[in-house]
């Protein structure tokens, strides 16, 4: 049985790009099991794609091949790469997209995909997802080792998701993602607070000078319509509104600042 293949792209679902890529996967690995993580990464937004891939990766089977394409530099100087990390493989452009997930999964080894005999013949310069990355991911799923598909690439492009910083007696984080419900996922984790205060549960969150209170564990801990801070399922604190949208209520967007200070 081949390794499962998990897809993340900025292709959207209105065009045929995802379907065509799946067709190539299946043509090269007829028993491929393909999972869509998301195809709604904002066009060209490498940081958003890296954040989403990093969040999803640990929940996929331990032998997964991740095929991720957010690739505004396709056809130019950026290299096509794959990484081996923690038993998984990650395939995509060398622009930082794979880095946070790869380093979360293990100590990654990168390979420059420079063996055209594993690609579609006559590859285009604008759709490496179809012509290069899909046949390579299918080969990895079938058991071909990355050593055959490319050569070691010791200096991949790295990308670090924004991390919290100290400002006086406050910890300053930011919103990394707004989800479908309007929950604002921050870059603050319980461990970030625990490094500074004895009891993270007493830490007080605020945005734009307005206090949002201390963290709760679930939405129904507050009344419908109330704003709350939540230790979210992603491992990060989230700003939410019970039965509503925090993003709409508080006019939040990616990059909005969140402060935390000690409770009294």
Give contact residues for a second copy (rule: CB under 8 A). 1, 4, 6, 8, 10-20, 22-24, 26-27, 30-31, 33, 35-40, 43-44, 52, 55-56, 59-62, 64, 72-77, 124-127, 130-131, 177, 179-181, 217-221, 230-233, 242-243
Distance CA 14, CA 244 (A): 28
**Shortest gap between Cβ of 141 and a second copy (angstroms)?**
13
Nearer to a second copy, 203 or 241 (CB): 241
First-residue to last-residue Cα distance in the chain:
57
**Shortest gap between Cβ of 4 and a second copy (angstroms)?**
6
Strands (E), the chain: 5-9, 34-38, 65-69, 80-85, 88-93, 109-112, 151-152, 165-167, 170-178, 184-186, 204-207, 210-213, 215-216, 227-231, 237-241, 257-261
Coil, helix or strand for 188? coil
**Shortest gap between Cβ of 49 and a second copy (angstroms)?**
10
**Shortest gap between Cβ of 218 and a second copy (angstroms)?**
3
Distance CA 33, CA 91 (A): 16
Nearer to a second copy, 233 or 264 (CB): 233
Distance CA 194, CA 203 (A): 10
**Shortest gap between Cβ of 45 and a second copy (angstroms)?**
11
Query: DSSP secondary-structure letter at 244?
Result: B
User: What is the phi-psi region of residue 50: left when phi exceeds 0, alpha when psi lies from -120 to 50, beta otherwise?
Assistant: alpha
Distance CA 109, CA 81 (A): 10
* Number of other CB atoms surrounding residue 88 within 10 Å: 25
Nearer to a second copy, 124 or 165 (CB): 124
**Shortest gap between Cβ of 209 and a second copy (angstroms)?**
27
Q: Over the Cα atoms of the chain, what is R_g?
A: 20
Nearer to a second copy, 38 or 206 (CB): 38
**Shortest gap between Cβ of 167 and a second copy (angstroms)?**
29
């Amino acid at each position: 049985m081949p390794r499962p293949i998990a897809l993340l792209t900025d292709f959207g679902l209105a065009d045929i790009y995802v379907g065509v890529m799946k067709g190539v996967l299946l043509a090269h690995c007829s028993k491929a099991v393909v999972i869509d993580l998301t195809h709604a990464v904002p066009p060209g937004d490498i940081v958003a794609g890296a954040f989403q891939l990093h969040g999803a990766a640990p929940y996929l089977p331990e032998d997964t091949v991740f095929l991720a394409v957010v690739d505004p530099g396709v056809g130019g100087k950026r290299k096509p790469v794959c990484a081996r990390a923690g038993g998984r493989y990650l395939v995509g452009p060398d622009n930082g997209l794979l880095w946070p997930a790869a380093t979360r999964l293990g100590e990654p080894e990168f390979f420059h995909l420079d063996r055209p005999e594993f690609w579609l013949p006559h590859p285009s310069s604008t759709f490496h997802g179809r012509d290069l990355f899909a046949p390579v991911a299918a080969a990895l799923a079938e058991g071909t080792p990355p050593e055959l598909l490319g050569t070691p690439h010791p200096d991949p492009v790295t990308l670090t998701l924004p991390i919290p910083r100290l400002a006086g007696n406050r910890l300053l984080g930011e919103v990394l993602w707004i989800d479908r419900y309007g929950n604002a996922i921050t870059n603050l984790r319980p461990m970030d607070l625990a490094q500074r205060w004895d009891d993270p549960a007493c830490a007080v969150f605020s945005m734009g000078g307005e206090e949002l209170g201390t963290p709760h564990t679930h939405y129904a801990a507050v009344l419908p319509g109330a704003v709350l801070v939540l230790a979210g399922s992603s491992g990060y604190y989230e700003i939410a509104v019970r039965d509503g949208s925090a993003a709409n209520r508080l006019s939040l967007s990616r990059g909005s600042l969140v402060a935390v200070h000690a409770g009294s």
